[in-house]
Amino acid sequence: MQGGAWTWQAWIKPARLAPNAILFSRRDASGSLVIGLDNGIPFVEVAGPNGTQRSTPGGAPIAVNTWHHLALVAAPGKLALFLDGDPSGAPLATSLPALNTDLTLGADLPGGARPGFSGDLDELQVARVARPDGFVKFASLSQGGSDNSNRLVALGQDEQASTWLSGNSTFGILIRSLTPDGWAVICLLSVMAVVSWTVMFTKASFLNKNSRGSDHFMKAWRHVATDLTALDGGDLEHAKSLGGRVDKKAQKALRHACIYHIYHTGVEEIRHRMSTTGGEKVLSAQSIQAIRATLDGVMVRETQKLNKLMVFLTIAISGGPFLGLLGTVVGVMITFAAIAAAGDVNVNAIAPGIAAALLATVAGLAVAIPALFGYNYLISRIKEATSDMHVFVDEFVTKLAEFYRPRTDQPPPYITPNTSNF
């Protein structure tokens, strides 16, 4: 060991500060080597044939209850002390003495002449080589002390899964690059989308109820159509229930059927005319035509009810893409105007603005395409319901003309001859 290369390093955490506290020592008759803290300032002390030498204090004392890296590097003719990877005080221009005794941690003198180190010590390493300054610095930074900012490798924030709205996602970049006019167009398109989806949902629900009610009605009408006595016999509730063939629970479903509304109006017209004929079950051709005109009016109103709010879908289909195109054009204009003002053509500056401008067109198509599909589906259902109403009106009037036709077995009325010329 005498005059050779040697490195001692450890992590220390003092619990309290004391004068000349010993961390490490090695003594024999020929000399000694002591590493310690003098009120928190590291020092190295060497005793040999040439007397005792001690390093000069370096820097401020270390704080208690904090971790620090302390190292001693010995080379021929030089002893250097390092604190947290940096030199601590001036090196000693001497070599290691010839020491053959055991290594001692803490106080080694009897009687407590010099106190031992009070605190924690970790990662003690002793090597028979002189580590370079960079190695000592790397060892200090690789694990760090109480100040985590000095670590060579530090733990970052927990990795989070990227979502479609996160800042680094494609959609997040588009959202951040949207201009105020783009936001205005997209907000307007969002309102149109909500309105169109609401119309499609409510209209589909209404048509489904109409279809179920029409099925219930037509099953009962097939029996009533062979004998229309149920229309003018009994009370009005008896006629509304198609001669008692439809219970009250089923009548709730019939209230949503457009055909039933036409039937209900037809029953009221028949009963009104029966009351004016003294109960005679005869309807003239003029009465039947009047009933048909009334039923046609009811059918028109029911058709209007079926087509109600469908105009919002046509607005979404035709207006959505044009609004999106308007937002795209304005966004591209603003992007190029900003580039012209900056005087710098950079694709990284152009791309986000143009991509965000195109987002308005995508929003317009997203509004128009579902509305187009929904409109075509609903309009076919409406045409089907309208055709069913036309067929029913024709069948109803035909049955009336057959069942309430005037009787032909009565003699013609007697005509008194005019005898004034005789």
Phi (first) and psi of residue 28, to 5 degrees: -155, -170
Cα–Cα distance for residue pair 45/33, rounded to 1 Å: 6
Amino acid (one-letter) located at 137? K
> 417: which residues sit within 8 A by CB, 6+ positions away?
none
pLDDT value, residue 118: 83
Q: What is the pLDDT of residues 162-218, one digit of tens each?
A: 555 555 566 666 777 777 888 888 899 999 999 999 999 999 999 999 998 888 888
Q: Give yes or no for residue 102 having a pLDDT over 80.
A: no
From 249, 286, 256, select the one nearest 406 (Cα to Cα): 286
What is the mean pLDDT of the segment spanning 256-278?
Answer: 81
Handedness of CA 149, 154, 157, 161 (dihedral sign): positive
Cα gap 361→326, rounded to integer Å: 8
The closest alpha carbon to 224, from 59, 234, 367, 363, belongs to: 234
Which of 23, 25, 27 is closest to 12 using CA atoms?
Answer: 23
Q: Specify the CATH number for 6-143; select among 3.30.70.260, 2.60.120.200, 3.30.70.20, 3.40.640.10.
A: 2.60.120.200
- In this prediction, residue 193 carries a pLDDT of 94
Residue 296: band (very low, low, confident or very high) from pLDDT cuts 50, 70, 90: very high
Cβ proximity of 6 and 15 under 8 Å: no
| Predicted confidence (pLDDT) per residue in 141-167, tens digit | 877 655 555 556 666 665 555 555 555
Q: Residue 288's pLDDT band (boundaries 50, 70, 90)?
A: confident
The answer, as to whether pTM is greater than 0.75, is: no
Burial class, 267, CB count within 10 angstroms (exposed 0-12 / middle 13-18 / buried 19+): buried
Rounded CA separation 123/35 (Å) = 16
Ranked by mean pLDDT, the top range of 48-62, 64-78, 367-381 is: 367-381
Q: What is the DSSP letter of 157?
A: P
Tell me which residue of 269, 260, 215, 257 sits closest to 242, measured CA to CA. Answer: 260
Q: Is the pLDDT of residue 418 over 50?
A: no
Find the helix packing angle between 285-307 and 347-403, rounded to 10°: 160
For the stretch 323-342, pLDDT in tens is 999 988 888 888 788 777 77
- Within 8 A by CB and 6+ apart from 325, the residues are 360, 361, 364
Better-predicted residue by pLDDT, 417 or 290:
290
CA 269: distance to chain centroid?
A: 58
**pLDDT value of position 420:** 44
Residue environment code for 368-405, b if the CB has 16+ CB neighbours within 10 A, otherwise e: bebbbebbeebbebbeebbebbeebbeebbebbeebbe
Residues of the chain with CATH 2.60.120.200: 6-143
Nearest to 24 by CA among 3, 45, 5, 48: 45
Closest CA relative to residue 12, chosen from 89, 80, 64: 64
Instruction: Count Cβ atoms within 10 A of the Cβ of residue 149 and give its class: 0-12 exposed, 13-18 middle, 19 or more buried.
Output: exposed
User: How many CA atoms are closer than 13 Å to the CA of 341, on its beta-carbon side?
Assistant: 6
